[in-house]
Amino acid sequence: MQNELSHLDWLEAEAIHIMREVAGQCSNPVLLFSGGKDSLCLLRIAEKAFRPGKFPFPLMHIDTGHNYQEVIDFRDRKVTELNERLIVRSVEDSMARGTVKLNYELEPRNKYQSITLLEAIEEFEFDCCIGGARRDEEKARAKERIMSFRDSFGQWDPKNQRPELWDLYNAITHKGENIRAFPISNWTEMDVWQYIEREQLELPSIYFAHKRDIIRRDGAIVPVTEVTPPKDGEIVENIMVRFRTVGDITCTAPVESQADDVQKIIIETAETRISERGATRLDDQMSEASMEQRKKEGYF
């Protein structure tokens, strides 16, 4: 009989503990669910933490309107299978209200998610948003606590965070303030894929290698879509790619890959020397401080 716990057992147990702390300390939390691999891990953790009952929080997606349709279809099917409640709030609704004003028609909308998220938090009076961010993704996310305090304006101050000793978490807020909780903050991209393999989690098809029309622009691979058309002189190629992360089409780049199943992706992840967001997020490449600035403004 094997008694030793694997590193995935430890990470899972920590994440379940954090999620139950959120449910116990917060009066009105919500779990952010985009259909991506990290938030799918959160759903499995929520199942292990709260089944056979329903989740003690709804799910919410802040939709930019520029998402891959296969991811949106997967999101809706997954929520139906789980029989949980999904709230969708869109950047386009914020544009209609006038709270988001694009600088030009096809401007990337990712940064404007912060505005829509803060509007949704105010609308539903959520006191905690559970997210799938991990410390290994990006420098600003490495500064986050497990439970990250946001003031009444939704702002994050990386120099003024609450201490977290051992596994003691403080989610106490006053009305209007907010906590962002990150149960898989200590996980790596490799941990996520190994967990997906162990739990046999289903994923949107774009995570696996497939042929897609792309163009090469400023060192990145840009998919050819209605909102990211080729510019004059750019050559369209049809190559094998996969997405390491999913999000707004205008700022999410695929990578060249032949990895068409989870085991191959795990091998590829072990060999890569480029961080997940460094390889695939065009918005993060604009500035080393771009993510930190967005988080200060309310981004998750």
Residue found by looking up tokens 């201490």 in the block: 163
Same domain, 130 and 51: yes
Alpha helices in the chain (DSSP H): 7-25, 37-50, 69-82, 91-97, 113-124, 139-142, 189-199, 262-271, 276-280, 290-296
Same domain, 101 and 210: no
What does the chain come to in residues?
300
Residue 58 pLDDT > 60, yes or no? yes
Counting the structural domains of the chain, the total is: 2
Q: How many CB atoms lie within 10 A of CB 293?
A: 13
Domain of 264 in residue numbering reads as: 204-284
Phi-psi region of 264 (alpha: psi -120 to 50; beta: other; left: phi over 0): alpha
pTM for the whole structure: 0.89
Find the mean pLDDT for residues 181-188: 96
Same domain, 107 and 210: no
Asked, for residue 48, whether it belongs to a domain, the answer is yes
Same domain, 160 and 16: yes
CA distance 130 to 122: 16
Q: What is the pLDDT of residues 194-252, one digit of tens each?
A: 999 999 999 999 999 999 999 999 888 999 998 899 999 999 999 999 999 888 888 88
pLDDT of residue 3: 72
Q: What is the pLDDT of residues 73-100, one digit of tens each?
A: 999 999 999 999 999 999 999 999 999 9
CA distance 295 to 101: 19
CA distance 214 to 192: 27
Same domain, 113 and 24: yes
Residue 184 sits in a domain whose CATH number is: 3.40.50.620
Proportion of the chain in helix, strand, coil states, percent, rounded to 5: 40, 15, 45
